[in-house]
Amino acid sequence: MEGVDYLIDERKKAQFDVEAMKVAWAGSRETLEVSNRMAKLVANDPVFEKFTRPMLGRKELFKNTLRKAAHGWKLIVDLRLTVLCNHHCFHLTVQFLLISEEEAKWLRLYIDEPAYTDLHWGMFIPAIEGQGTEEQKKKWLPLAQKMKIIGCYAQTELGHGSNVQGLETTATFDPQADEFVIHSPTLTSSKWWPGGLGKASTHALVYARLIVGGEFHGVHGFIVQLRSLEDHSPLPGITVGDIGLKFGNGAYNTMDNGVLRFDHVRIPRNQMLMRVSQVTKEGKYMQSDVPRQLIYGTMVYVRQTIVADASKALSRAVCIATRYSAVRRQFGSRNGGPETQVIDYKTQQSRLFPLLASAYAFRFVGEWLKWLYTDVKQRLEANDFSTLPEAHACTAGLKSLTTTATADGIEECRKLCGGHGYLVSSGLPELFAVYIPACTYEGDNVVLLLQVARFLVKTVSELGYKQPVGTTAYMGRMAALMQNNCAVRTAEDWLNPGAIVEAFEVRAARMSVACGQRLAKFENPEEGFAELASDLVEASVAHCQLIVVSKFIEKLKQDIPGKGVKQSLEILCYVYALFLLHKHQGDFLAIGYLTPKQALLANDQLRTLYSKVRPNAIVLVDSFNYTDHYLGSILGRYDGNVYPKLYDAAWQDPLNDSDVADGFHQYVQPILKQKLHSAKL
**Footprint (CB under 8 A) of a second copy, residues 625-664:** 643-644, 646-647, 649-657, 659-664
Residue 672 binding a second copy, by CB under 8 A: yes
In 3D space, the residue among 404, 375, 356 whose CA is nearest the CA of residue 544 turns out to be 404
Nearest approach, Cβ of residue 651 and a second copy (Å) = 6
Interaction of residue 419 with a second copy, rule CB under 8 A? yes
Which of 97, 139, 590, 627 touches a second copy (CB under 8 A)? 590
Please name the residues in contact with 675: beta carbons below 8 A apart, sequence gap of 6 or more.
none
For residue 44, count CB atoms less than 10 angstroms from its CB and return exposed for 0-12, middle for 13-18, buried for 19 or more.
exposed
Q: Which of 474, 452, 456 is nearest to 395 (CA)?
A: 452
Rounded (5°) CA angle 526-529-535: 175
Toward a second copy, which CB reaches closer, 32 or 590? 590
Q: Using the 8-state DSSP alphabet, how is residue 329 labeled?
A: B
Which helix (DSSP H) or strand (DSSP E) does residue 406 occupy? Answer: helix 388-416
Listed residue (357, 360, 410, 413) closest to 575, CA to CA: 357
Told to check if 666 binds a second copy by CB under 8 A, we report yes
Q: From residue 349 to residue 378, what is the string marking binding to a second copy with x (rule CB under 8 A)?
A: xxx---------------------------
CB of 79 to a second copy, least distance (A): 13
**Which residue from 126, 128, 115 is spatially nearest to 196, judged by alpha carbons?**
115
Q: Does 676 bind a second copy (CB under 8 A)?
A: yes
Sites for a second copy among residues 243-262 (CB under 8 A):
243-249, 252, 256, 259
Residue 220 CB neighbour total at 10 angstroms? 21
What residues numbered 136-195 form the site for a second copy, per CB under 8 A? 146-150, 156, 158-163, 166, 187-188, 190, 193
- The residue (of 393 and 606) whose beta carbon lies closer to a second copy is 606
- Interaction of residue 69 with a second copy, rule CB under 8 A: yes
In the range 377-416, which residues lie near a second copy by CB under 8 A? 411, 414-415
Per CB under 8 A, 535 contacts a second copy: yes
Q: Which of 216, 109, 105, 111 is nearest to 169 (CA)?
A: 216
By CB under 8 A, tell whether 8 contacts a second copy: no
Report if residue 615 touches a second copy, rule: CB under 8 A.
Answer: no
Could you say which of 101, 129, 442, 531 is catalytic? 442
Quick one: 183 or 555, whose CB is closer to a second copy?
183
Quote the DSSP letter at residue 150: -
Query: Interface with a second copy includes 125 (CB under 8 A)?
Result: no
> Which of 285, 385, 522, 667 forms a contact with a second copy (CB under 8 A)?
667
Answer yes or no whether residue 424 interacts with a second copy by CB under 8 A. Answer: yes
By CB under 8 A, residue 425 contacts a second copy = yes
- 2 touching a second copy, by CB under 8 A: no
* Candidates 58-66, 121-129, 169-177, 372-380; binding stretch for a second copy (CB under 8 A): 58-66
CA–CA distance, 453 with 516 (Å, rounded to integer):
10
Determine contact, residues 151/119, Cβ cutoff 8 Å: yes
Q: Give the interface segment with a second copy, choosing from 262-270, 302-310, 381-389, 588-596 (CB under 8 A).
A: 588-596
| Smaller CB separation from a second copy, 28 or 485 | 485
Between 149 and 560, name the residue whose CB sits nearer to a second copy. 149
Which of the stretches 101-109, 228-236, 264-272, 360-368 binds a second copy when contact is defined by CB under 8 A? Answer: 228-236
Q: Per rule CB under 8 A, is residue 4 in the interface with a second copy?
A: no
Shorter beta-carbon distance to a second copy: residue 21 or 260: 260
- Identify whether the C-beta of residue 348 lies closer than 8 Å to the C-beta of residue 443: no
What span, in angstroms and rounded, lies between the C-alpha atoms of 321 and 142? 44
Nearer to a second copy, 248 or 497 (CB): 248
| 272 vs 448, beta carbon nearer a second copy | 448
- Integer CA distances (angstroms), 280 to 176, 179, 286, 354, 473, in order: 12, 11, 8, 57, 45
Rounded to whole angstroms, how far apart are CA atoms 232 and 243? Answer: 19
Partner residues linked to 180 by β-bridges: 173, 267
Q: How do beta strands 191-192 and 203-212 pair? A: unpaired
Point out which span in 9-17, 341-349, 378-386, 621-629 binds a second copy (CB under 8 A): 341-349
Binding residues for a second copy, rule CB under 8 A, total 140
Of 391, 359, 380, the residue nearest 547 (C-alpha): 391
Q: Which residues contact 42 (CB under 8 A, 6 or more apart)?
A: 48, 107, 110, 111, 112, 627, 629, 630
Of the pair 62, 106, the CB lying nearest a second copy is at 62
Nearest approach in angstroms of CB 658 to a second copy is 9
Q: Among this protein's residues, is 179 annotated catalytic?
A: no
Please report how close the Cβ of residue 680 comes to a second copy at its closest, in angstroms: 10
Minimum Å gap between C-beta 564 and a second copy is 26
The backbone region for 285, taken as left when phi is positive above 0, alpha when psi lies in -120 to 50, beta otherwise, is beta
Please identify, using beta-carbon distances, which residue of 342 and 475 lies nearer to a second copy: 342
- Determine, following the binding rule CB under 8 A, whether residue 431 of this chain makes contact with a second copy: no
Supply the minimum distance, in Å, between the C-beta of residue 224 and a second copy: 17
Q: Using alpha carbons, list the distances in angstroms from residue 190 to 157, 206, 422.
A: 5, 11, 36
Query: Which is nearer to a second copy, 295 or 661 (by Cβ)?
Result: 661
Label each residue of 7-62 as H, E or C. Answer: CHHHHHCCCCCHHHHHHHHHCCHHHHHHHHHHHHHHHCCHHHCCCCHHHCCHHHHH
DSSP state of 227: B
472 contacts a second copy (rule: CB under 8 A): no
Per-residue CA distances from 432 to 282, 326, 667 (Å): 52, 22, 35
Residue placing its CB nearer to a second copy in the complex, 69 or 127: 69
Stretch that binds a second copy, among 87-95, 316-324, 348-356, 369-377 (CB under 8 A): 348-356
Contact in structure between 227 and 237 (CB atoms under 8 Å): no
Residue 461 engages a second copy in binding (rule: CB under 8 A):
no
335 makes contact with a second copy (CB under 8 A): no
Q: In one letter, which amino acid is 681?
A: L
Tell me which of 94, 229, 480, 482 binds a second copy, using CB under 8 A. 229
Q: Of residues 16, 48, 62, 301, which one binds a second copy by CB under 8 A?
A: 62
Among 174, 422, 466, 561, binds a second copy (CB under 8 A): 422
Q: Is there binding between residue 600 and a second copy (CB under 8 A)?
A: yes
State the Cα–Cα distance between residues 153 and 503, nearest whole angstrom: 43
DSSP code per residue over 278-325? EE-TTS-EEE-SS-TTHHHHHHHHHHHHHHHHHHHHHHHHHHHHHHHH
Cβ proximity to a second copy, 203 vs 566, nearer residue: 203
Q: Which of 3, 59, 483, 678 binds a second copy (CB under 8 A)?
A: 59
Question: Nearest to residue 353, comparing CAs of 338, 362, 363, 343?
Answer: 343
Within 263-282, the residues that bind a second copy by CB under 8 A are none
User: Does the protein bind a second copy through residue 79 (CB under 8 A)?
Assistant: no
Closest CA to 279 of 145, 404, 174, 402: 174
Rounded Cα–Cα distance for residues 482 and 592 (Å): 10
Catalytic residues: 442
